[in-house]
Amino acid sequence: MRRSDALVVGGGLVGVAIAWGLARAGLSVTLLDEGDRAFRAARGNFGLIWVQGKGAGLPAYAALTRRSADRAPELAAMLRDGVGIDVGLRQPGGLHLCLTEAELERQTTTLRRMHNQPGGGNDWEVMAADAVRRLIPGVGDIAGATWGPHDGHLDPLRLLHGLHRQAAADGVVIVTGVTVETVAPVPGGGFELTAGERRFGTDRLVLACGLGIPPLAAQVGLAIPLSPQRGQILVTARMPPVLDHPTTYLRQTPDGTLLLGDSKEQAGFDDGTTAAIGQDIARRAVAALPALRTARVVRTWGALRVMAPDGFPVYAQSATAPGAFVVACHSGVTLSAAHAFEVAPAIAAGDLSAYADFSPDRFSECATDV
């Protein structure tokens, strides 16, 4: 049996950021990565560092998102200096392009409500179409946009690779190709996990395996309601620079390709693609940026977001199996710095009370209130 101070199940962006953070806190850490059998939300990610509009209805999420985005440059610098991987981070501010006045009004109303909620929201402003055109000269006939000065983007695959490389360099033992089947608390403390014929022992367990969390969490006394939400992305061939700022459904990478996306579907665990959604994505993208009319789509993919019922992260620790924790969210890129620099040290200290607003108890409380 392999034993370690801490064991993290899930090798995506969430899990590896937590594992690295635990190692930085001085723990011996094993990271179990299922491999290509997993749904790999990290590899289908759009790559946004996004603050604007995050946290409507939960001010703690707005604050956590902002703190993480503010530390993204620190994280990027550590990966570049530590293992030589440039994640391509740019934070020039981001735009939510609104094609109609009704859409602009809805977006503005949401952001205003966030500022009026206890704890407030994050910085933003409304931009008229002419102001947007000064930032994006080729923008189409839009109504306007909302602007977030803290927003940005990066290469999510480089971030994932960089975190794995840095975690390994700092002592994390990464075991790939394993699917955890059972989690059993051990009398006197700690846990024993089985994965086929392999066994792993640990004093501190973190379940960060996305949609695979619920059945494992149930074995340590935690009810974690998560469901898949499919998103599809289109990728164009390389184009000359046409988009200097990331938007919620369009961004141009440093190599010239454009990513088009932001679809939301309830498709169960099907991570495929459909022509109908692809057409909707392309239609909106061309309306926002007419230069895309002649662009050639070279590939598409679908991926599954990890969604709680209210869309916010779930951070939990077990009352019946002390030492077991859950970290789940759909914002693995945006929250990567927070997971490494904040949440992991809290887990190392054995206390997630600072993140009580993200407890799954909020779902049972809602049910009781109803």
Q: Is residue 75 part of a domain?
A: no
pLDDT at 365: 58
**What is the CATH classification number for the domain harbouring 261?**
3.30.9.10
HSE (CB half, 13 Å, CA atoms) of 170? Answer: 25
**164 and 119 fall within a common domain:** no
Kindly state whether residue 86 falls inside one of the protein's structural domains. Answer: no
Interatomic CA distance for residues 193 and 323, integer angstroms? 14
Total domains in the fold of the chain = 3
**DSSP element (H, E) containing 7:** strand 2-9
Asked if 148 and 52 count as a contact pair (C-beta separation under 8 A), the reply is yes
Give the pLDDT score at 369: 36
Please answer whether residues 41 and 307 qualify as being in contact, where contact means their C-beta atoms are separated by less than 8 angstroms: no
Q: Assess whether 165 and 202 both reside in one domain.
A: yes
Q: Are strands 258-260 and 227-236 parallel, antiparallel or unpaired?
A: antiparallel
Phi–psi pair at 278, nearest 5 degrees? -60, -40
Q: For residue 280, is it within any domain?
A: yes
In a domain, 78, yes or no: no
pTM assigned to the model: 0.95
Give pLDDT < 70 ranges for the chain.
Answer: 365-370
Is residue 71, in this structure, part of any structural domain at all? no
Asked if 152 and 89 count as a contact pair (C-beta separation under 8 A), the reply is yes
Residues 233 and 219 in one domain: no
Distance (Å, whole) CA 202 – CA 57: 37
For position 115, what pLDDT does the model report?
A: 83
Residue 367 has what pLDDT?
Answer: 43
**Domain-embedded: residue 252:** yes
pLDDT, residue 220, reads: 97
Strand arrangement, sheet containing 94-98: 94-98, 144-148, 125-128
Examine the domain organization and report whether 221 and 237 are in the same domain: no
Is position 14 within any domain?
yes
Same domain, residue pair 103 and 119: yes
Radius of gyration of the chain (CA): 21
What confidence score (pLDDT) does residue 121 get?
74
| Those residues with Cβ within 8 angstroms of residue 3's Cβ, 6 or more apart along the chain or in another chain | 200, 201, 202
Is the residue at 89 inside a domain? no
Beta pairing class for 2-9 and 29-33: parallel
> Is beta strand 94-98 parallel, antiparallel or unpaired with respect to 144-148?
antiparallel
Given 307, 335, 356, which residue is the final one in a domain? 307
The domain in which residue 266 lies consists of: 227-307
